[in-house]
């Protein structure tokens, strides 16, 4: 959606009607995070589940390139009867309110009548527009408007979700009442391949197609690589073969995300696909299985790779954590291995520890968190670390990991 943001005026979005009064206690566990900024102290290696705060409101970030169908999706969610009281926050810029008029329940008179930030919607949801996407700004708005079960944040078409996600993920330490539930990216089936190829199109000069880190990343790459769910929308505008090609290319970039093809953003389900994804909760083996199946060579700049290695011992946990810190915080591989520069956007892992509980790892850019999973009955033998990013397919990633583990 595009609307000129205004400090004292609500966007003319939607006709307020009878508000449903739905209250749902959200009880969620958000683990302690480790950040590159915490240089003073090396944080605890593993967050104890019992330390986790509860009663936080989940936030789903909805992203997608210009015209991919974000407004259409939000419109769909807001008019469905899902029994949740959702606050929709538009992080907008731009000079056109035209797109807002596409909202099926819009009311052109609402702006004049109500100089407030939020516009109440028919099914108990509210809508507002903010320039500042910071956690404080959102919490402030939430305080003004009462309690909500859920927040949907629609970013601008040009946003890099990798910059926004850590605001909500890292915010645990700031006493936030919000937690990141997932990132949903919409892509336009008709145009996405062109968007992905913009960084290295035929019309560009050779030196414009690369920086010193290799092929350029486009906004489309960033939005796909950070996604937990990818909706390939406008399926009606392409043939079955074209759609297959799009799915394969996207799967090769992000082997972890759930992918669904849609027309007019009509998703098969809201729960588990858009709402209550729990994408930053515990990592299950099933979550990682997908990643091993992609054709990771299809995109020249970003890929998903899975490092398989043997379960570790208790005494190797510290080395494993050092490996994570080195690749994520220093953007280097430990040891003396030859490799090209790399950039990690997303990381998930499950590492069984002999005689202990498996380590579950989640990472976004240079932030990561490690929690303990439930101990399996048998002794699990294989560990998996899935990386999404630029240059992550280099064999040195595994070699370096094995070397650091063996040194302990």
Contacts of ligand GTP in 297-356 (CB under 6 A): none
**Considering the complex, what minimum distance in angstroms separates the CB of residue 19 from ligand GTP?**
25
Enumerate residues 31-90 that contact ligand GTP by CB under 6 A. Answer: 64, 66-72
Q: Which of 91, 136, 125, 166 is nearest to 14 (CA)?
A: 125
Nearest 5°: phi and psi at 93? -155, 175
In the DSSP assignment, the letter for residue 321 is H
State how far the Cα of 252 lies from the Cα of 385, in Å rounded to an integer.
16
At closest approach, how far in Å is the CB of 94 from ligand GTP? Answer: 8
Site for ligand GTP in 91-120 (CB under 6 A): 99, 102
If one asks whether residue 223 binds ligand GTP (CB under 6 A), the answer comes out as: no
- Closest approach, Cβ 97 to ligand GTP, in A, equals 11
Of 226 and 390, CB closest to ligand GTP: 226
Please give the helix or strand (H or E) that residue 315 lies within, else none.
none
Q: Which helix (H) or strand (E) holds 81?
A: none
Number of residues that bind ligand GTP (CB under 6 A): 20
Pick the closer one to ligand GTP by CB: 70 or 345. 70
Q: Which strand ranges, in their side-by-side order, compose the sheet holding 382-390?
A: 303-310, 382-390, 343-351, 359-364, 367-372
Q: Which region among 115-123, 200-208, 233-241, 317-325 touches ligand GTP (by CB under 6 A)?
A: 233-241
Interacting stretch for ligand GTP, rule CB under 6 A, among 121-129, 162-170, 258-266, 333-341?
A: 258-266
- Our CB check for ligand GTP shows the closer of 71 and 370 to be 71
Is 226 among the residues that bind ligand GTP (CB under 6 A)? no
**φ/ψ (deg, to 5) at 383:** -105, 150
Q: In terms of Cα–Cα distance, which of 230, 133, 250, 228 is closest to 182?
A: 228
The least CB distance from residue 252 to ligand GTP, in Å, is 23
Nearest CA to 299 among 254, 331, 335, 345? 254
125/211 Cα distance (integer angstroms): 44
Q: Does 157 interact with ligand GTP (rule: CB under 6 A)?
A: yes
The residues that touch ligand GTP, with contacts defined as CB under 6 A, are 1-2, 64, 66-72, 99, 102, 157, 233-234, 236-237, 263-265
């Amino acid at each position: 959606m595009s609307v000129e943001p205004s400090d004292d005026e609500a966007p003319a979005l939607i006709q307020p009607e009878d508000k449903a009064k739905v209250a749902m206690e959200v009880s969620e566990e958000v683990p302690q995070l480790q950040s590159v900024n915490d240089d003073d102290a090396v944080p605890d290696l593993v967050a104890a589940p019992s330390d986790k705060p509860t009663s936080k409101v989940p936030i789903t970030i909805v992203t997608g390139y210009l015209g991919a169908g974000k407004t259409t999706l939000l419109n769909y969610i807001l008019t469905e009867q899902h029994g949740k009281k959702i606050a929709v926050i538009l992080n907008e810029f731009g000079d056109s309110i035209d797109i807002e008029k596409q909202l099926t329940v819009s009311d052109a008179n609402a702006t004049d009548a109500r100089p407030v930030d939020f516009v109440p919607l028919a099914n108990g949801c509210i809508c507002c527009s903010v320039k500042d996407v910071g956690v404080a700004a959102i919490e402030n708005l939430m305080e003004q408007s009462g309690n909500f079960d859920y927040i949907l944040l629609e970013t601008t078409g040009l946003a890099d979700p990798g910059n926004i996600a850590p605001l909500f993920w890292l915010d645990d330490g700031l006493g936030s009442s919000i937690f990141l539930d997932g990132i949903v990216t919409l892509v336009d089936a008709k145009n996405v391949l062109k968007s992905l190829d913009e960084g290295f199109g035929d019309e560009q000069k050779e030196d414009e197609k690369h920086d010193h880190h290799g092929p350029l990343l486009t906004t489309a790459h960033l939005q796909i690589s950070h996604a937990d769910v990818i909706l390939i929308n406008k399926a009606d505008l392409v043939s079955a073969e074209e759609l297959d090609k799009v799915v394969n290319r996207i799967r090769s970039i992000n082997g972890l995300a759930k992918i669904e093809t849609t027309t007019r953003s009509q998703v098969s389900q809201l729960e588990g696909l858009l709402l209550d994804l729990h994408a930053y909760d515990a990592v299950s083996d099933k979550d990682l299985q997908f990643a091993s199946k992609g054709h990771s060579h299809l995109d020249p700049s970003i890929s998903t790779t899975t490092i398989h290695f043997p379960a570790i011992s208790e005494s190797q946990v510290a080395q494993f954590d050092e490996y994570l810190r080195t690749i994520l915080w220093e953007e280097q591989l430990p040891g003396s291995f030859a490799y090209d520069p790399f950039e990690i956007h997303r990381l998930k892992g499950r590492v069984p520890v002999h005689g202990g509980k498996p380590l579950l790892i989640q990472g976004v850019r240079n932030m990561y968190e490690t929690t303990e999973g439930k101990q399996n009955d048998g002794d699990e033998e294989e560990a998996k670390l899935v990386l999404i990013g630029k240059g992550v397919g280099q064999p040195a990633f595994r070699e370096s990991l094995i070397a650091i583990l063996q040194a302990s």
